[in-house]
C-alpha cells in the first residue's frame, strides 16, 4: 500500500474525478489508516511504498503491476499523469530482490496491472477497453504461460475491471454484468459457477472493489442484499469507508496490491484444465447415458481447456508432463465419465488440486 501523503484530485482522467470536488485530506488520511488496521486485523501483512510528491494517484497501487510469485509484471499506464509511478514501483520491487518484467511490444500497448487482471481457476481474467489494451493480453499469456480470457469493459464508470469483478474463491465472485459486453458476460457465466450478480445501484457503491483475506471480505460499502448472500456463503463482511478515495474513482481494492499471488505455477493451470474437463464431463454424463452423445459434447466443450494445457505445459518448460495431459484428454474424449475413474483420478491429483472446489466435487 502507499500512504496518501500527496493524494488529491488535481486532474481528471476518469468520470469520478472532478477538481471542484476535491477530497478532504485529513479524512483521507484517517480512512487510509483505518483500512490498514482493518486489513491487519483480518490477518494480512501490510507493506508500504514511499509516496512521491506530484503523483497523487500512486496511492492506488493495484494499478502498479501484476504480481506473479517473485516477479512483478510492471504496468504501462495509459495516461501521462500516472506513467512516472512505474519508476518507483520498479525500484521498490527490485530493492526487495524481486524480478521486474516489462511488456514486450509496441510502446502503445497499455496494461494497468491488478486493476485489470485477476487469476481465476488456472487462467487469467483480464479487462480492456478504457485503460488496458486487448493487445496486452497475448503478451500476458506468453509471460505467464496461462490462458487469458479477455473481458471488454463498456461502461466508463467501471473503467477498471476490479470495479466490476471480485473473485472470492474458485466458485464464487461478485460481478457487475452491466460493465461488460455480451460476449464477456458469456465468458464470466461459463467460468464462475456461483456469481453474486450486482444490481447497478449496488455496483455503483464500489462494493465489488473489495479485498478478501481468508473468509473476511473488506468492502467500501455493503448493500444489505449483498451482505446477506456473502454471510450465507460463510464470509464475514467488514466495511471500511473510503469516501474520499471514491472521489478519485478508487476504493478498497484499488488501494492495495497483493504480494503473495502466484499465477504461472504449473499446477494452477493444469488444475484449471482438469477442473473444466471433469466439471463439464460430469454435467454431460448426468444428462445422458448415450456414450456417443457424451463423447461428442465432452470433446467439444469439456476438453477444450485440457487441449490448450498441453501448450501451456510446454511454455512452462514441463514438456515431460505432456503425456499426462494427453492421457487425461484422451480419456474424456473417448469415454464417458465413469464415477469410479474420477475417484481414482482424484486420489492421484488431490495433493496438488485440493484448493479447487469444483474439482473436489
Mean pLDDT across 137-164? 96
Q: Among 2, 121, 137, 160, which one carries the catalytic annotation?
A: 160
Q: Among 254, 275, 303, 336, which one carries the catalytic annotation?
A: 254
If you classify domain 25-255 with CATH, what class do you get?
alpha beta
Q: Is the distance from CB of 9 to CB of 19 less than 8 angstroms?
A: yes
- The pLDDT assigned to 210 comes to 98
% pLDDT > 70, the chain: 73
Q: How many residues does the chain have?
A: 361
Q: Which residue has the higher pLDDT, 320 or 257?
A: 257
Binned at pLDDT 50, 70 and 90, residue 332 comes out as low
Measured from the Cβ of residue 277, the count of other Cβ atoms closer than 10 Å reads 26
Residues of the chain with CATH 3.75.10.10: 25-255
pLDDT tens-digit series, residues 215-262: 999 999 999 999 999 999 999 999 999 999 999 999 999 999 999 999
Q: Is 303 a catalytic residue?
A: no
Binned at pLDDT 50, 70 and 90, residue 121 comes out as confident
pLDDT tens-digit series, residues 298-318: 333 444 444 455 444 444 444
% pLDDT > 90, the chain: 71
Q: Is 160 a catalytic residue?
A: yes
Q: Which residue has the higher pLDDT, 167 or 324?
A: 167
Amino acid at each position: 500500500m502507499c500512504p496518501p501523503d500527496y493524494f488529491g484530485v488535481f486532474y481528471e482522467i476518469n468520470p469520478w474525478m472532478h477538481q471542484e470536488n476535491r477530497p478532504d485530506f485529513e479524512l483521507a488520511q484517517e480512512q487510509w489508516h483505518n483500512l490498514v488496521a482493518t486489513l491487519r486485523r483480518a490477518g494480512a501483512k501490510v507493506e508500504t511504498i514511499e509516496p512521491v510528491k506530484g503523483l497523487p494517484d500512486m496511492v492506488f497501487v493495484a494499478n502498479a503491476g501484476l504480481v506473479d510469485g517473485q516477479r512483478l509484471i510492471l504496468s504501462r499506464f495509459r495516461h501521462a499523469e500516472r506513467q512516472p509511478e512505474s519508476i518507483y514501483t520498479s525500484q521498490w520491487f527490485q530493492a526487495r530482490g524481486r524480478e521486474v518484467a516489462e511488456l514486450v511490444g509496441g510502446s502503445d500497448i497499455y496494461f494497468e496491472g491488478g486493476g485489470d487482471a485477476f487469476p481465476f481457476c488456472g487462467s487469467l481474467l483480464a479487462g480492456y477497453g478504457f485503460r488496458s489494451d486487448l493487445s496486452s493480453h497475448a503478451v500476458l499469456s506468453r509471460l505467464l504461460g496461462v490462458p487469458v480470457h479477455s473481458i471488454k469493459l463498456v461502461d466508463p464508470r467501471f473503467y477498471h475491471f476490479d470495479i466490476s469483478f471480485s473473485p472470492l474463491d474458485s466458485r464464487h465472485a461478485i460481478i457487475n454484468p452491466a460493465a461488460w459486453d455480451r460476449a464477456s458476460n458469456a465468458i464470466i457465466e461459463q467460468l464462475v459457477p456461483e456469481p453474486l450478480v450486482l444490481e447497478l445501484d449496488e455496483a455503483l457503491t464500489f462494493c465489488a472493489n473489495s479485498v478478501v483475506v481468508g473468509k473476511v471480505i473488506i468492502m467500501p460499502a455493503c448493500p444489505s442484499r449483498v451482505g446477506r448472500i456473502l454471510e450465507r456463503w460463510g464470509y464475514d463482511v467488514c466495511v471500511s469507508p473510503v469516501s474520499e478515495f471514491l472521489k478519485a474513482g478508487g476504493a478498497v481494492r484499488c488501494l492495495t496490491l497483493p504480494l503473495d499471488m502466484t499465477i504461472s505455477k504449473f499446477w494452477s493451470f493444469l488444475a484449471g484444465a482438469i477442473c473444466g474437463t471433469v466439471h463439464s464431463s460430469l454435467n454431460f454424463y448426468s444428462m445422458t447415458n448415450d456414450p456417443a452423445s457424451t463423447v461428442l459434447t465432452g470433446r467439444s466443450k469439456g476438453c477444450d481447456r485440457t487441449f490448450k494445457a498441453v501448450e501451456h505445459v510446454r511454455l512452462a518448460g514441463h514438456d515431460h508432463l505432456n503425456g499426462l495431459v494427453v492421457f487425461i484428454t484422451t480419456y474424456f474424449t473417448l469415454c464417458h465419465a465413469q464415477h469410479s475413474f474420477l475417484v481414482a483420478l482424484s486420489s492421484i491429483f488431490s495433493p496438488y488440486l485440493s484448493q479447487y472446489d469444483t474439482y473436489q466435487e
